[in-house]
Chains A and B, each alone.
Chain A
Amino acid sequence: MRSPERNPWWWCRPAAGLARMWTALRPYVEWVRLRFLLMLAYRVNYYSGIAVYTINIGAYYFLWKALYQGETTLGGLTATQMTTYVAVAWMARSFYFNNVDREMAQEIREGRVAVELIRPYNYLVVKAMQALGEGLFRLCFFSVPGMVLVSFLLPVDLPESPHTWGLFALSLLLSFVINTQLNLLTGLMAFFLLNNEGLMYAKRVVVDLFSGLILPLSLFPEWARAILVLLPFQAISYLPTMIVTGAWTTAQIEQALLVQLVWSLLLVVPIRALWVLARRKLVVQGG
């Protein structure tokens, strides 16, 4: 008799499918814990990080305050909503931001990736889990205290309903997934390029600008917005942050979550493709 796991139609039964996925991911959760503990050991580095983010949020706060003189709304946001947008966008960045691409590039350049490949796990999933551990650490010790600090210093207006926070949490998780997927893609390029420093840096700047971190997408001119909504970057910062500002209706929020979900599924395709190609192409010298 076939065991239920072998049933090719397992994915038709969501409960069984989820249970199966959990069994497969279970061992990887350990990587989240390990990275979290590692970050905890070097937490001193992060105190200055909170200051840096506060300085950046402050810079944009004063800029926007001056820009709002004589205007009631810009790009559909009031002055208070814009302050909230800036604060939340930066603090969310500390959660989804990670250097997985840099780590991968280094491991590939130094040939350590060969050892990773013979280990009985999926290298990319391990990298993503390490990133999650780092993200969770920053969420606890950076985003949350930073947000408290900022809400004392600046006039931010955070939503009160737990429902909105729940939607934001879901959206933030998806933004982490998409950002990490993009990092895996740029990291994988190290298999094909001798030097992908420039690519990684360009990606970082492109993400900061096109994700809406520096400027909400609704402020961009019409033609630019038409292009940007077709790209995955808006799902990283603009969509989750807009949920918190309270400028959006329920329908808009639902649409945003759907867009994020679609991107997080779509991006699996190029990652898988590059991964297959990369393993075929890999040459490790010496070692």
Chain B
Amino acid sequence: MWRLLSLFWVYLAQYLKARMAYRYDFLVQGLTDVVWQLVNLVFILVVFTHVPTLGGWSRDEILFIYGYFLVPYGIFACLFNLWDFQERYILRGEIDRVLTRPIHSLAQVCLENLDPEALFGVVTGLIIMGYAGYRLGLDLTWYDPLVFLLLVVGSVLVYAGIYVAIAAIGFFADAKTGIAPMVWNLQNYGRYPVDIYNRLIRIVLTWILPFAYVGLYPSSYFLGRETYYVYAAATPVVGAVVFALGLWAWNAGVRRYRGVGS
């Protein structure tokens, strides 16, 4: 674990050195993410000038959930930048090089693709949470920051598990499957209260592709929504289980991998 952490710093420093040669690009990349997050924010702000509540949730509560939603996503997107894994590593055969490296292949792939620009989203998320929390007059106890960290780690693991499993499909399929964009769009369901969806979608978001654990459920703990406390408490466990499944799929893929010639 310590070795991974030191490697992480080395790769990060290397990445930043390369990136700072093109500072403008770095800034643009970071800002484009922020712009997209602002669009969603505008949606919430505008809609709530017309209605008092969204399925029994106030504007500031919805904002708080959205703010929380951005934090684990930013951390996940920085660490697990696997979007074009299949194309780069399987179809072009770069995975062969990765498999000869002394650390776990998933760790190696993630380290090579660190995306620190995504961390801009964490900052936006914290600002939105801070604003909404202040307006709601939430009081924090001394252990709440620790709970927050624990829940965020759980949410990051949920994302990581799902997308690692999807990347692992790349070991089995010959061509692009188009599953990742579908799941990416589905995850946006997690930033609103699940009680607005129908039963089927609620079940999917809680048990199958558990995106309710990256936004709504953990935020419920801070918002004092006691109906969801059990789910909030389960977030780290769900994260651990989903990540274990993702890792298992990845390892199965690596075992099955036979190369793509030349």
| Interface check A51, CB cutoff 8 A | yes
Distance in angstroms between the alpha carbons of A75 and B49 in the assembled complex: 11
CB <8 Å contact, B46 and A56: no
The residues of B that contact A55 with a CB separation of less than 8 Å are 182, 185-186
B214 to chain A, nearest CB (A): 15
> What sequence of 0s and 1s flags, for each residue 194-224 of chain A, a beta carbon within 8 Å of any chain B beta carbon?
0101100110010011000011000111000
> What sequence of 0s and 1s flags, for each residue 163-189 of chain B, a beta carbon within 8 Å of any chain A beta carbon?
000000000000111110110011011
| Interface check B197, CB cutoff 8 A | yes
CB <8 Å contact, B49 and A56: no
The residues of B that contact A66 with a CB separation of less than 8 Å are 54-55, 196
| Interface check A117, CB cutoff 8 A | no
**Nearest B residue (CB) for A195:** B25
CB <8 Å contact, B189 and A205: no
| Interface check B5, CB cutoff 8 A | no
Distance in angstroms between the alpha carbons of A49 and B49 in the assembled complex: 33
CB <8 Å contact, B49 and A221: yes
CB <8 Å contact, A208 and B46: no
Per the 8 Å Cβ criterion, residues 191-232 of B in contact with A are 192, 196-198, 201
| Interface check B146, CB cutoff 8 A | no
CB <8 Å contact, B182 and A219: no
| Interface check A20, CB cutoff 8 A | no
Total interface residues in chain B, CB < 8 Å: 34
A19 to chain B, nearest CB (A): 45
| Interface check B43, CB cutoff 8 A | yes
**Nearest A residue (CB) for B188:** A59
| Interface check B42, CB cutoff 8 A | yes
| Interface check A65, CB cutoff 8 A | yes
Distance in angstroms between the alpha carbons of A221 and B186 in the assembled complex: 29
CB <8 Å contact, A51 and B182: yes
CB <8 Å contact, B196 and A48: no
| Interface check A74, CB cutoff 8 A | yes
| Interface check A23, CB cutoff 8 A | no
Per the 8 Å Cβ criterion, residues 52-69 of A in contact with B are 52, 55-56, 58-59, 62-63, 65-67, 69
| Interface check A5, CB cutoff 8 A | no
CB <8 Å contact, A197 and B196: no
A58 to chain B, nearest CB (A): 8
The residues of A that contact B58 with a CB separation of less than 8 Å are none
CB <8 Å contact, B46 and A220: yes
> What sequence of 0s and 1s flags, for each residue 47-75 of chain B, a beta carbon within 8 Å of any chain A beta carbon?
10111001100000000000000000000
A120 to chain B, nearest CB (A): 37
The residues of A that contact B189 with a CB separation of less than 8 Å are 59
**Nearest B residue (CB) for A220:** B46
| Interface check A45, CB cutoff 8 A | yes
**Nearest B residue (CB) for A53:** B185
Knowing A55-B186, A71-B51, the reply to whether A47 touches B178 (Cβ < 8 A) is: yes
| Interface check B31, CB cutoff 8 A | yes
Distance in angstroms between the alpha carbons of A201 and B35 in the assembled complex: 9
Knowing A214-B39, A214-B43, the reply to whether A45 touches B176 (Cβ < 8 A) is: yes
The residues of A that contact B175 with a CB separation of less than 8 Å are 44
Distance in angstroms between the alpha carbons of A160 and B175 in the assembled complex: 42
Contact of B51 among A51, A59, A67, A202 (CB under 8 A): A67
Per the 8 Å Cβ criterion, residues 138-157 of A in contact with B are none
CB <8 Å contact, B196 and A198: no
Contact of B50 among A62, A65, A214, A219 (CB under 8 A): A219
Contact of A74 among B24, B31, B51, B182 (CB under 8 A): B51
The residues of A that contact B39 with a CB separation of less than 8 Å are 205, 208-209, 214
CB <8 Å contact, A75 and B55: no
Knowing A69-B55, A202-B35, the reply to whether A62 touches B182 (Cβ < 8 A) is: no
Distance in angstroms between the alpha carbons of A186 and B57 in the assembled complex: 40
Per the 8 Å Cβ criterion, residues 160-219 of A in contact with B are 195, 197-198, 201-202, 205, 208-209, 214-215, 219
CB <8 Å contact, A62 and B201: yes
B33 to chain A, nearest CB (A): 9
Knowing A221-B46, A221-B49, the reply to whether A197 touches B178 (Cβ < 8 A) is: no
Distance in angstroms between the alpha carbons of A52 and B184 in the assembled complex: 9
Distance in angstroms between the alpha carbons of A44 and B28 in the assembled complex: 33
The residues of A that contact B198 with a CB separation of less than 8 Å are 62
CB <8 Å contact, B50 and A71: yes
Binding site for A on B (CB under 8 A): 24-25, 28-29, 31-32, 35-36, 39, 42-43, 46-47, 49-51, 54-55, 175-179, 181-182, 185-186, 188-189, 192, 196-198, 201
Binding site for B on A (CB under 8 A): 44-45, 47-49, 51-52, 55-56, 58-59, 62-63, 65-67, 69-71, 74-75, 195, 197-198, 201-202, 205, 208-209, 214-215, 219-221
12 A-B residue pairs with Cβ-Cβ distance under 8 Å, sorted by A, are: A45-B176, A47-B178, A48-B181, A52-B181, A52-B185, A55-B182, A58-B201, A66-B55, A197-B28, A197-B29, A198-B31, A205-B35
* Further pairs besides A45-B178, A48-B177, A63-B54: 5, Cβ < 8 Å: A52-B181, A62-B192, A70-B51, A215-B42, A215-B43
